[in-house]
Amino acid sequence: MKLEVQIGGRTRELEARRVANRWLWQLDGKPIEADAVEVSPGVFSILIGGKSFELRVEERAAGLRLFSTGKEFSADVIDPRQWRRRRPGGLEAQGRQQVLAPMPGKVVRVLVKTGDAVEAGQGLLVVEAMKMQNEIRAPKTGKVERLLVVEGQAVNAGEVLAVVA
């Protein structure tokens, strides 16, 4: 996705590409040296220069509201028609979905049990990585078909944590 956005009153070109379960970013044609992983819908864990940040992103009609380290930022898209055409538009995953660990860490809380009904975006479990707790959320509305982890268990990036059907 390539967009012209206005951040802090300045027009910038932002490009975001999803490769496997990672995001690659460019700002004004220059790569941003950041490791960004979407840990749950709209929540990103970002590693920049050895520092870890959590970024929560909320969509608005013409752009984004961003929350990180107690601060709020906004990014307004210059051409809102282009934004509406390109953004996912709140589409929910379909069919059986595997919920994967976005990074290596430790399961510190399991919030649901097998058979529970869940809503899209509802927290399923919490994984701690680099001293940050990341809530892993349901990709769709459905039932927890399988939980493959327990509290205290170490997990690797890409490991299946749960299945929602």
Of the spans 89-93, 127-131, 143-147, which averages the highest pLDDT? 143-147
CATH number for the domain spanning 127: value is: 2.40.50.100
Q: Mean pLDDT, the chain, as a whole number? A: 80
Q: Are residues 67 and 104 in the same domain?
A: no
**Final residue in a domain of this structure, among 86, 110, 126:** 86
Q: How far apart are the first and last CA of the chain?
A: 29
91 lies in some domain: no
Looking at the 3D structure of the chain, how many domains does it have? 2
Q: Are residues 63 and 108 in the same domain?
A: no
Answer whether residue 4 shows pLDDT above 80. Answer: no
Distance CA 32, CA 17 (A): 12
Q: Are residues 64 and 108 in the same domain?
A: no
Q: Are residues 42 and 75 in the same domain?
A: yes
Among 60-74, 119-133, 149-163, the minimum mean pLDDT is found in: 60-74
Average pLDDT over residues 138-163: 93
Q: Is the pTM of this model over 0.85?
A: no
Distance CA 16, CA 11 (A): 16
Answer whether residue 85 shows pLDDT above 70. Answer: no
6 lies in some domain: yes
Q: Are residues 82 and 101 in the same domain?
A: no
Distance CA 139, CA 55 (A): 18
**Final residue in a domain of this structure, among 31, 51, 86:** 86
**Final residue in a domain of this structure, among 33, 53, 86:** 86
Contacts of 9 (CB under 8 A, 6+ apart): none
Q: Are residues 158 and 101 in the same domain?
A: yes
Domain of 105? 97-164
Could you report the per-residue pLDDT of 24-80, keeping only the tens digit for each? Answer: 778 888 888 777 777 777 888 888 777 888 888 887 766 777 888 888 777 766 654
Distance CA 147, CA 27 (A): 39
The pLDDT of residue 15: 79
Distance CA 7, CA 161 (A): 36
